[in-house]
Amino acid sequence: LSLDVDALDPLETPGTGTRVLGGLTYRESHFALELLHQSQSVTSMDLVEVNPLIDHNNHTAEQAVSLIGTFFGE
């Protein structure tokens, strides 16, 4: 699984290079990753496009870490 932070709504995850309004919410992303974890059909993941230079108060980075944890069952 490759999750590009650009797919998430920039109102919730501003620290990415290509912002597109109307992307997935954090909750939608979290739920999808919970389902993937439960299915045990995906064995690896990468998460890309977090830009710390424009990430306000590490908000996007913290959400990214949380989403990775969700994928692995935390």
Count of CA atoms in the C-beta half-sphere (13 A) of 58: 3
| pLDDT (tens digit per residue) in 16-60 | 988 888 999 999 999 999 999 999 999 999 999 999 999 989 999
Q: Where are the domains of the chain?
A: 2-71
pLDDT at 29 (0 to 100)? 97
Distance CA 38, CA 45 (A): 14
Distance CA 22, CA 37 (A): 25
Separation in Å, CA 50 to CA 7, 17, 33, 38, 42: 11, 8, 18, 26, 22
